[in-house]
Each structure stands twice: as C-alpha cells, then as structure tokens.
C-alpha cells in the first residue's frame, strides 16, 4: 500500500484539534463555531507531490505549515494574528521554495489604502525573506522614492527554471507595471518586458500574460473606460492590437492565457449575452475564433483550469465564489467523474496537483456541507481525508437553499434563494432578508457560514439576486448601473413582498441584514420601506454615494468605473443624495444595528461614523453603532468575526424572536 494512506491517522490528529460537536437535544451549535475562521483554508501539493503546504487557523491565529504527505517533518513557516497583515495566497515555486502573498491596510499621503508584499521561504522555514523587494533598492522618480503598492502580481513561472518567476512591478512609472524576472532566493531582478507607455494613456498595460514557455506575450490595460489589449506571436518582438473598446458601451474581449501550443490564446468574450470562453489562433487572425465553452444561463468569469504541470488548459471556473468547473477536455472530465463517484453529494474541486498528475488535493463542499479536504491518488482511485474546515459543524443540522424566480414590478425575473431550518415550516419562522455585497454574488451552492448561522438560530433566509448582480449576463449587470437605491432596491423589496404574499414570511417578523453593498441595501430598506422590516443591520455599509465617487481614485482608475456604475458627483448629485442613507437618517424609525471596521478599505469607516452622527443629530434613538478598531470588511480576524456575530445574536433575538 502506498505511503500516503498512512496519512489518515496522522493528519486527523494534526488538523482536527477540537472534537466534533455533539448536539445535546435541540440546542444549536454555539455562535463561535460558525464565526471562527475555518480550521483549514487551503492545501497545496508541491510539484513532486511529496510535500503539503497547509493554510490553517486555530484560536484566532493563521499558520502556513509545511510537511510531507506522510505527516512528518512539520514546519511552521509563517504565522499571523491577522491584525498587522493577512495571508492572501501562497504557491510552490519548486519542491523547496514557496512564495507567500500578504496584504495589509496602510495609508499613503493621507489616503487609506491596501498594500501587498511578497515573502519567500524554504519549506523547512529557512532562508526566509520577509519582503522580496527591498525598498532601498527602488529607483528614484523625480527625486522621490516610489514604492509599488502591489508587489505580488505574479505573471507566471519559467519552465525548467526553478529559481525565477515573472512578476509585474510598477517601479519606473506608477500604475504602469513592467515585467521582471525575479530570483526567489535573493530578490534580484532583471527587466524582461517594459510597458509600452506610461500613465495617463489608454495603451498602458495593467495586466501581463505569459505563455506556457514563460514568454510575456499578451497584456490588457484600461484608461478611464477605454480597454486596450495587445499580443505578440511566439517568436516576434512586434506587439499587435487584439482588442480596443469602450467598457461604458460594451463588454468586449479579454485575453486570459495561452495553451500548451503557443499559437492558441484563450479569451473571454460575450456569447448570446453571457461571458463565454473562446480561443483564437494568433498566427492567423483571419481565421474565425472558436467557441470553447459557454453556459446559457450564467457568465463564466472565473480562472482557467490547467492540467497537472500547468501546460494544457482544460476548463474554467464559473467565478471566484462559485468554484465549479466546466471542463472541455475529455481526460479532465473523466478524472472529475472518478472523484465525484468517490465523494458523492458534494461539489468536488481539484485545488492542486502534483506535476506528474498522480496526486490531487480535492476540496469537497456544498451549501449544507462545510468544506473537507482530501488527497486522491489517480493511479488506484484511493481517496484519503486530510481534514475538515469546520469539524464542529459536522453533526449540525445544516440546510440547503431552494431556488425560485420572482417577477419584479417592471416584469423582470429575479432569481431568489430561500434557506429554511431543517424540518421547519417557513410560515412559522422569522425571516432574514440577506442582500449580498459586491454587488457581485456568492452562488448558493457554496457553503456560507452567515446563512447557516441564521438558519441554526431558527430563522429562514431570503437571498434575492437583484439587477446589477454579476454572473447573470451583461444585460442584467448593466441594468444595475446608476440604479443604487432605485430599481436595485425595489428588486429586494419585491422579493420580500413575494415571500409575504406566498405565506412564507410574516409581515411583522422580517429583518434585513447585509455587509458592504448589502449593508447599503439594508439601510435603504429602512429608509424606503420601513413598514416591510422589523429591524435592519448594516455591517460596513455604504452610506454616502457622493462620497464614494469623490473618494474614488484616478490613479487606480476607480473614478471612471465608479461614475459608470454609480453616477457623476456633479451631474447626478441630486440622485446620489436622494439615494444616500446618511441624508435620510430622520426617516429611519425601525431598530438599527450599525457596525463598521476601522480598517475597512472597501468602504471607509467614515461612512459608519457619519451615519451614526446623522442618526444622533436627527434624534433617532433606535440605533446602536459599533465600531471595530482592527476589523476589515472581510472580518479577517477571528476576534472581530465573533464580536460581530455576538452583536447580531443579541440584536436579532431581541427583535425577531
């Protein structure tokens, strides 16, 4: 029997540190069980398949641990309490060396920002470089040092070169990154591709693409709403135009990656109103491009999926939130079918593989199934459990959503998800209306600890996919442009009214809860339709739309996109004020829980503070403002997540039960 099957006992001892929760009668699991960070976030196999890198959490701490697949030689190479920085991704460069991306909140020239750095370390923890790019080595720009804000933009690896990677860095011109060949042991770098122009220019490249041989051969940039894509043929130094369009008018072609054959480039473009995957032959642009895969109902907005060894492209994920893969490669389809037979009833996604294609790390999850991590041996079909992300929820009564479609007041069709506690009649339950953030959406097939916590407390959960939600096609996305607080809000209200008419909700036992854009929708629900809701909760919600547009930054191209999606600070100022909760504080007369993290860089804490001040000035007495001094919008720190859920539990049980 291969050595990896000795993993079971060892790894369950290593990762399952807390015994599985055993229900005592009907009592639900404690709130902290849902609010704690997942025990395991990610597992990556080394190229040889002999070592595992595991990102795990315990008691509020996050660790990156390295060990052999037999559970031996465990080394803790990175750890963080998620206050000063968080780990965003990690990757094996070779069997000895890893790159780790970290993100942290910062302030540049009095502007709150997010920064990234790149750490390099050996698998035994030695030769660690906390910052691969020493700031003292950065060149001068008009006598002033320029330090790139984002230093973890990996363009690709170089086959046959285990020492170097390709990274995009804007060292010479801010926000116009060039591509460097970087030594992962020393940080030494060599320029391999300069940006064709500097900001401001529609031809500046913001994202570079290398082919499977490690040659930089495509790029895409954007200035204001003008998108420009370029490419070059395998042995040529001449850059050619691939696409040029105005994003305000259309959603056009975006280059994604080259196939094993360097003549073929995969791109994303529209097909019957949905984002689909095509490939085109860059050696013969007169030939028609080939439609590779499309879904008639949903966009394919996720990353491409490669065969082991990362040469051949075999599929595409729906989105970052919906990890399901559409495969077009027969061998990949057959492998997926074998894995699905071994673990039925869940969505099973390969997260990493050994270069020889024998071993695969598989994440198995579902709406009512917290993620489990396994290793699959393709040679003999054996699947070995490595660990569980939420071991204390294994015996909990989790529930899966049902899907329905609701007709909005203007005739448009909304997809709506309803999740109800097991064996309960929703007509007898309080309801949480849970508009998503983004306003991109999380698909219902993914495990959502928020939804499952609501359900565990005996509340039904209604999640409408209002216009402006990503993933449902370009027309549906654009239907939400500049309609914040208007039709987008009406869609949420119409979904709730449908639930009331259908007898699925009591008109006096409904609370609207949201984070980010969802927090904005919760506040606007309290402003526009206070008779519909018993209470409202906003976590990190937008409160001032003119301020959002005003704060958006030209240097990151945020302002043109904010104006396209939300509106112009000057031309649309009356509409923006009319649809900003901060200017309607006196109209809020239902109980409101307002929470905001001081380290939130998506929606600055000023939005929460200004809303609280407006409520106070309007003599509103039915609100509570909670500010979390170290929290970001994602609640990356376990302490903040538990704090928020305790506030939620006290508030919602007071007004719903």
Ranking 59-73, 143-157, 233-247, 250-264 by mean pLDDT, the lowest is 143-157
Higher pLDDT, 439 or 644: 644
Q: From residue 599, how far is each of 84, 205, 297, 540 by CA, in Å?
A: 10, 30, 37, 10
Where do the DSSP E strands lie in 96-210?
Answer: 97-108, 111-122, 140-141, 144-145, 153-158, 161-169, 178-183, 189-193, 207-210
Q: How far is it, in rounded angstroms, from Cα 504 to Cα 507?
A: 10
Which residues, 6+ apart, have CB-to-CB distance to 166 below 8 Å?
154, 155, 156, 157, 158, 179, 180, 181, 182, 192, 208, 210, 214, 216
Token digits of residue 528: 């526009």
pLDDT band at 7 (very low <50, low <70, confident <90, very high): very low
Q: How many of the other CB atoms lie within 10 Å of CB of 440?
A: 17
Q: Which of 280, 159, 151, 164 is nearest to 211 (CA)?
A: 159
Residue 414 lies in a domain: yes
Rounded CA gap, 151 and 134, in Å? 11
Residue 598's nearest CA partner among 638, 556, 639, 626 is 626
Radius of gyration of the chain (CA): 25
Element (H or E) spanning 373, and its range?
strand 369-377
Residue 143 confidence (pLDDT): 54
Contact 371, 447 (CB under 8 A): yes
Residues contacting 634, CB < 8 A, separation 6+: none
Predicted TM-score (pTM) of this structure: 0.93
What's the confidence (pLDDT) of residue 506?
A: 87
Beta-carbon neighbour count of residue 647 at 10 Å?
17
- Which residue range forms the structural domain that includes residue 424? 402-544+580-656
Question: Cα–Cα distance between 134 and 2 in angstroms, integer?
Answer: 44
Q: What is the pLDDT of residue 202?
A: 61
Task: Give pLDDT tens digits for 497-519.
Answer: 999 999 999 889 999 999 999 99
- From 106-110, 276-280, 449-453, the region with the lowest mean pLDDT: 106-110
The confidence score (pLDDT) of residue 25 equals: 44
| Mean pLDDT confidence for 110-124 | 93
Quick one: tokens of 34?
Answer: 């849902």
CA distance 118 to 165: 12
- Please check the confidence at residue 36 and state whether its pLDDT lies above 60: yes
For residue 223, the model assigns a pLDDT of 87
Domain count, the chain: 1
Distance of CA 556 to the CA centre of its chain: 19
Across 61-65, 442-446, 556-560, least confident range: 442-446
Tokens, residue 208:
């570079």
pLDDT, one tens digit per residue, over 525-551 is 999 999 999 999 999 999 999 999 999
- When the pLDDT of each residue in the chain is averaged and rounded to a whole number, the result is 91
At residue 21, the pLDDT reads 32
* Average pLDDT estimate for 56-76: 93
Query: What are the backbone angles phi and psi of residue 232, rounded to the nearest 5°?
Result: -140, 155
* Number of residues in the chain: 657
Distance of alpha carbon 106 from alpha carbon 103, whole angstroms: 10
Calpha distance 431→454 (Å, rounded):
9
φ and ψ at residue 338, rounded to 5 degrees: -65, -45
Q: What is the pLDDT of residue 26?
A: 59
Q: How many C-beta neighbours within 10 Å does residue 213 have? A: 15
Among 15-29, 154-168, 195-209, 264-278, the least confident range: 15-29
Residue (of 160, 189, 446) closest to 324 by Cα position:
446
- pLDDT over 60 at 383, yes or no: yes
450: enclosing H helix or E strand:
helix 449-456
pLDDT recorded at residue 12:
32
Asked whether residue 650 is assigned to any structural domain, the reply reads: yes
Q: Residue 19: its pLDDT value, please?
A: 31
pLDDT at site 199:
56
When pLDDT is averaged across residues 346-354 and rounded to a whole number, the result is 96
Q: Which pLDDT value is given to residue 553?
A: 80
243 in a structural domain: no
Residue-wise pLDDT for 256-279, tens only, equals 999 999 999 999 999 999 999 999
Task: Indicate the SS3 state at residue 639.
Answer: helix
> What per-residue string of b and e applies to 294-322 under the rule 16 or more CB within 10 Å gives b?
bbeebbbbbebbbbbebeebbbbbbbebb
CA atoms of 230 and 211, how far apart (whole Å): 14
pLDDT at 9: 30
> What is the Cα–Cα distance from 187 to 165, expressed in whole angstroms?
10
pLDDT confidence band for 310 (50 / 70 / 90): confident
What element of type H or E holds 519?
A: helix 517-528
113 inside domain: no
Which element (helix H / strand E) includes 447? none
pLDDT at 86 exceeding the cut of 70: yes
Kindly tell me the sign of the dihedral angle through the C-alpha atoms of 500, 503, 509, 515.
negative
Q: Does 452 reside within a domain?
A: yes
Percent share of the chain, pLDDT over 90:
82
Spatial distance between the Cα atoms of 258 and 233, rounded to a whole number of angstroms: 11
The rounded distance, in Å, linking the Cα atoms of 116 and 168 is: 13
Alpha-carbon distance 424 to 422, whole Å? 5
Query: Does the structure show a pLDDT above 80 at 555?
Result: no
Closest by Cα among 423, 445, 444, 437 to 466: 437
Residue 260, in any domain of the structure:
no
Instruction: Give me the residue label for tokens 């490249």.
Output: 205
Residue 128 to residues 100, 119, 124, 133, 137, Cα–Cα distance (Å): 11, 7, 10, 13, 19
Q: Give me the pLDDT at residue 3, please.
A: 39
Q: Are 567 and 544 in contact (CB under 8 A)?
A: no
Residue 556, pLDDT above cutoff 90 = no
Residue 315 scores a pLDDT above 70? yes
Please write the tens of the pLDDT for every residue from 186-204: 999 999 999 987 655 667 8
Name the region of 310 (left: φ>0; alpha: ψ -120 to 50; beta: rest).
Answer: left
Is the distance from CB of 518 to CB of 436 less than 8 angstroms? yes
CATH code at position 441? 3.40.50.1820
**H or E element in which residue 442 lies:** none
Helix axis angle, 517-528 relative to 487-501, nearest 10°? Answer: 70
Q: Is 74 inside any structural domain?
A: no
Peptide bond into 66 cis (omega under 30): no
Give the model's confidence band at 13: pLDDT under 50 very low, under 70 low, under 90 confident, else very high. very low
Are the C-beta atoms of 559 and 178 separated by less than 8 Å? no
3-state SS assignment for residue 275: strand
Comparing 589 with 439, the larger pLDDT belongs to 589
Mean pLDDT calculated for residue range 469-475: 95
pLDDT of residue 429: 93
Q: Which residues contact 295 (CB under 8 A, 6 or more apart)?
A: 274, 276, 318, 326
Quote the pLDDT of residue 456: 96
- Distance (Å, whole) CA 505 – CA 429: 7
Of the chain, the end-to-end C-alpha distance in Å amounts to 55
pLDDT of residue 8: 32
Please indicate, yes or no, if residue 73 is contained in any of the structural domains.
Answer: no
User: Residue 371 in contact with residue 387, Cβ under 8 Å?
Assistant: no
CB 594 within 8 A of CB 611: yes
**DSSP β-bridge partners for residue 164:** 183
Rounded distance, CA 292 to CA 197, Å? 33
Residue 425: pLDDT band (50, 70, 90) is confident
């Amino acid at each position: 029997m291969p050595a990896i099957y000795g993993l079971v006992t060892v790894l369950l001892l290593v990762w399952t540190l807390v015994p599985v929760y055993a229900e005592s009668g009907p009592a639900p699991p404690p709130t902290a069980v849902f609010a704690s960070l997942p025990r395991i976030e990610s597992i990556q196999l080394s190229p040889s398949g002999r070592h595992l890198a595991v990102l795990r959490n315990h008691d509020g701490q996050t660790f990156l641990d390295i060990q052999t697949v037999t559970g031996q030689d465990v080394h803790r190479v990175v750890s963080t309490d998620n206050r000063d920085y968080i780990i965003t991704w990690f990757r094996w460069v070779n069997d000895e060396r890893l790159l780790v991306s970290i993100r942290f909140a910062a302030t540049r020239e009095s502007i709150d920002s997010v920064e990234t750095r790149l750490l390099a370390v050996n698998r035994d923890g030695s030769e660690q470089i906390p910052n691969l790019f020493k700031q003292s080595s950065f060149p001068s720009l008009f006598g002033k040092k320029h330090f790139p804000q984002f230093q973890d933009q990996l363009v690709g690896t170089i086959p046959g070169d285990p020492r170097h990677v390709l990274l995009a860095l804007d060292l010479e011109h801010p926000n116009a990154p060039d591509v460097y060949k970087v030594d992962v042991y020393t940080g030494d770098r060599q320029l391999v591709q300069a940006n064709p122009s500097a900001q401001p220019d529609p031809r500046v490249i913001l994202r570079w693409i290398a082919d499977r041989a490690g040659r930089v051969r495509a790029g895409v940039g954007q200035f204001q709403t003008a998108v420009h894509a370029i490419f070059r043929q395998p042995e040529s130094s001449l850059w050619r135009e691939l696409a040029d369009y105005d994003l305000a008018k259309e959603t056009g072609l975006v280059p994604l990656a080259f196939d094993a054959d360097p003549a073929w480039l995969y791109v994303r473009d529209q097909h019957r109103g949905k984002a689909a995957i095509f490939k085109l032959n860059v050696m013969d642009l007169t030939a028609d491009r080939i439609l590779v895969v499309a879904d008639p109902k949903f966009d394919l907005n996720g990353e491409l999926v490669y065969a082991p060894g990362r040469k051949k492209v075999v599929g595409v994920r729906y989105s970052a939130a919906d990890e399901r893969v559409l495969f077009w490669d027969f061998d990949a389809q057959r492998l997926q079918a074998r894995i699905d037979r071994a673990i039925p009833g869940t969505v099973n996604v390969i997260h990493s593989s050994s270069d020889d294609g024998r071993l695969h790390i598989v994440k198995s999850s579902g709406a009512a199934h917290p993620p489990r991590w396994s290793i699959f041996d393709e040679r003999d079909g054996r699947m070995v459990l490595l660990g569980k992300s939420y071991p204390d929820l294994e015996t909990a009564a989790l529930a899966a959503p049902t899907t329905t479609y609701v007709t909005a007041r203007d005739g448009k069709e909304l997809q709506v998800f309803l999740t109800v506690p097991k064996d309960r009649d929703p007509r007898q339950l309080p309801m949480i209306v849970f508009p998503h953030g983004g306003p991109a959406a999380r698909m219902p097939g993914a495990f959502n600890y928020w939804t499952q916590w609501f359900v565990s407390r005996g509340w039904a959960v209604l999640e409408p996919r209002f216009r402006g939600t990503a993933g449902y096609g370009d027309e549906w996305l654009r239907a939400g442009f500049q309609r914040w607080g208007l039709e987008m809000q009406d869609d949420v209200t119409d979904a709730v009214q449908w639930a009331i008419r259908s007898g699925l909700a009591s008109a006096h036992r409904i609370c609207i809860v949201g984070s980010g854009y969802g927090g904005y929708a919760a506040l606007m629900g309290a402003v526009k339709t206070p008779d519909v809701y018993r209470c409202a909760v906003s976590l990190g919600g937008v409160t001032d739309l003119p301020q959002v547009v005003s704060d958006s930054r030209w240097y990151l191209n945020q302002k043109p996109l904010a104006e396209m999606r939300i509106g112009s600070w000057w031309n649309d100022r009356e509409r923006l004020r009319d649809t900003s909760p901060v200017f309607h504080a006196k109209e809020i007369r239902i109980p409101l829980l307002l929470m905001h993290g001081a380290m939130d860089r998506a929606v600055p804490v000023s939005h929460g503070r200004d809303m609280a001040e407006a409520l106070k000035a309007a003599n509103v007495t039915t609100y509570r403002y909670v500010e979390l001094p170290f929290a970001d919008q994602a609640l990356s720190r376990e302490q903040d997540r538990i704090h928020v859920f305790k506030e939620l539990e006290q508030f919602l049980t007071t007004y719903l039960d």
